[in-house]
Structure 1
Amino acid sequence: MHGRHGDDRPGLETTPGRRRVIGDVVLFRRLLSQARPYWPHVVALFLLSLLSSPLSLLTPLPLKIAVDSVIGSHPLPHVIAPLVPEAIAHSPAVLLAIAVGLLVTVALLRQLQELTNTLLQAYVKEKLLQNFRARLFRHVQRLSLAYHDARGTSDSTYRIQYDATAIQYVLIDSVIPFISATVTLVGMIYVMTRIDWQLALIALAISPGLVVTGRIFRRRLRRHSREAKKLESSTMSIVQEVLGALRVVKAFGQEAREEERFIRRSTEGMKVRLRLASLEGSFNVLVGLASAAGMAAVLLIGVRHVGAGVLTLGELLMVMAYMNQLYEPLKTIS
């Protein structure tokens, strides 16, 4: 359970950052090997998550059709025009029906995709966790008595019951959403560039700042998260020690002392978790402010482009809808 991260052999100079990267690579390799029996399910989950990208791109399309082609007199978007016969392509009633039908279809497909993704994700997570916990339990039983005497049984219990769940977050809730978010981001930027490259450039201008901010916060979040885990394990150790030797505790009247020790350790853990929540909240605030600044800039320039005839009102609404979705993938990536 306690693997060595990096390589500390004499004569091999490594910086702390390099050792951390090597440790992360080794960790991912171990987790990928652990998930090997469930690769077909993981691949299916990955393909399902990729379906969210085209659905996200199609979501604002009905609004553009309604504004530009039903209320206005602009032709249908290129992606829809070949599918609509020329005889009905200029009928506002038919175009409105197409827009409504497309809206309902996209919403239905999105709900089906999310439902299937949720069910398959729950199955893969539970199977991964069960297998991983069994492997950890088998490993714990093989460790020497000296190790258990030195570390205590509560540490092993905490790792099997609570730390093991990290395999779900790393493989299912991190890697797959990261790739899916990247595909969605690239698709949105491409479509926005086709509509108005200047607006796409404004949207991209804020992206590097979000990624850098995410990397800065990541180090601090990781440090506080590890500290919180250690304190939680330590708090559990106190409970297990006291309950395991309850007769002795009662015989010497140490209930108040043990309670004070438990409260002190719990308070330390609470403070660390509050700092962790504060960091997460600060990151979300910065992302929200950056998103609002980007949308404000796009709205300002976009309205001028509509007035100048460079952009239609429906295209501006489409870009604003993409902007509203754009920073969620960026937040996931960062």
Structure 2
Amino acid sequence: MESDCIKVFAPATVANVACGFDVIGLAMDAPGDEMIMRRSDKPGVTITAVHGAALSTDPAQNVCGVAIQALLQKYGQPEAGIELELFKNIPPGSGIGSSAASSAGAVVGANHLLGNPFTQKQLVRFAMEGERLASGAAHADNVAPAIMGGFTLVRSYKPLDITGLHTPADLWVTVIHPQIEVKTSDAREILKQKVLMTDAIRQWGNVGALVAGLYQENYDLISRSLEDAIVEPVRAILIPAFYELKVKCKEAGALGGGISGSGPSVFMLSRGEETARKVAAMMDTVYAPLGVDYKIHVSQINREGVKITKV
């Protein structure tokens, strides 16, 4: 079968965004997973190689394969051949949407190769099946921004109802990734199953205000809204020097931030690149003495989501 070969870039994402546990996420410009994809005569999904991480090439055990297979099933041609080579630039367990990037890139790429029969929001549903394999929960707060770009809000899972949010032009994100692994499944296990009404009300107020702040480009309101009264107090123990990091980054000019996904990455939002880079320098100052390897990423909010180019 003759087919054009495409290159797919799938961005890292920050999920939860402080108060928005499981419902708000944002896409980054970098880092991101990359894939080379093409149509194939061989039925079903073929993963020829995985670079950068010790992940299975068995399509049934790899989020790319599971997500594409969900798409092919809905397409009505489960035996259609899709071949891909995966370059993992986002380490698994990093808290910046590693499995989501692979799942999102795979379905957007497959959709392109099939002539784009599905909408972005339909693609989110297929990518969620990859997330189900990775973490046991088919959550959308990473795959939605990875596919749609910008900030996204999951209003409901049953039925799935996702909307894009306004992204202020001058908003930047700085992320520090300590080189320790926190599995999403483990991070979910330590969460409380019941929350106090007072904490829930505080959280609802922050979520509403964060959305309003994004649309109004009101950076002070965004800053006041970046507060997590429910999840962060439980998960903070998993991340070295978490509270010191938050305090020092705000002193350096950050609007605020919190745990990215289930951790161990920590994100901070800032107004403008200059402040975002000052925040990165402060992260470096806090973490350098700890004896923990880490990487720091400074990025604008990626408004495009998964990007496809011809090879």
TM-score, with length taken from structure 2: 0.25
**Larger-Rg structure:** 1
TM superposition score normalised by structure 1: 0.23
**Which has a greater percent of helix?**
1
Higher strand share: 2
